[in-house]
Amino acid sequence: MKALQNARLNAPLDIYVKVNSGMNRLGFQPERAQTVWQQLRAMRNVGEMTLMSHFAQADHPEGIGEAMRRIALATEGLQCAHSLSNSAATLWHPQAHYDWVRPGIILYGASPSGQWRDIADTGLKPVMTLSSEIIGVQTLSVGERVGYGGRYSVTQEQRIGIVAAGYADGYPRHAPTGTPVLVDGIRTRTVGTVSMDMLAVDLTPCPQAGIGTPVELWGKEIKVDDVASAAGTLGYELLCAVAPRVPFVTT
């Protein structure tokens, strides 16, 4: 606030004033908000002011009740625009919409709860596809093992496809055998440990697949939330973790 007060500006700045509604990360405590607001309002360098907050538990039905109580305490008597709703509140808590909403992960067609079923009826569609192709095929006999540590053991003769993608590309290293993947439009599964630059998939459901066959790791058919759930993480992390070396194509 001191920096804003002492700054030499050509024109006042429009600002957002953040109230801590329970995240305990950033923002003024609710009991200080009124005083802070009036101090800012009196500054010549301040133009329009919008009150904002960030919900910590908006993906739970009861998650914003206490947060809204804190915000009401902070804003009692104030005439101001509000920006409160993240993706979860935008979807499930219309009472928190106010003037501006701030959707995040739903812009990518992924679920703020980490479960695709929670947004399946919203009309949202995935907008990011992580894709690759098969660069090798192994036909393995009973008892042979796949990948580092030999964590997957073949129980009947099986064709395994090797896909040019791994944890160095942002695919989760901890994705276990059975994580869903799409090969030539057919749903199948990963097998064995994910490597730095490659991973293995079961070609049993898609015997026509071979070198050059396209693979969807997540996207329209394989939801990023499902991959994340299998790997013990969230779609947020996977969407953020795609490596710079992966070519980005906008369509």
Q: Is residue 125 part of a domain?
A: no
Q: Is residue 247 part of a domain?
A: no
The answer to whether position 246 is within a domain reads: no
Q: How many domains does the chain have?
A: 2
pTM, full prediction = 0.90
Domain membership flag for residue 248: no
197 assigned to some structural domain: yes
Q: Could you report the per-residue pLDDT of 61-92, keeping only the tens digit for each?
A: 677 999 999 999 999 999 899 999 999 999 99
The answer on 185 and 88 residing in a single domain is no
Per the annotation, does 102 bind a ligand?
A: no
Strand partners, 134: 163
What's the pLDDT band for 32 if we cut at 50, 70, 90?
very high
CATH at residue 29: 3.20.20.10
| Percent of all residues in the chain with a pLDDT value above 70, rounded to a whole number | 100
The percent of residues in the chain predicted with pLDDT above 90, rounded, is 97
183 lies in a domain?
Answer: yes
pLDDT of residue 62: 75
CATH number of the domain where residue 150 is located: 2.40.37.10
198 assigned binding-site residue: no
Range of the domain at 148: 130-241
| 201 and 162 both lie in a single domain | yes
User: Radius of gyration of the chain from Cα atoms?
Assistant: 24
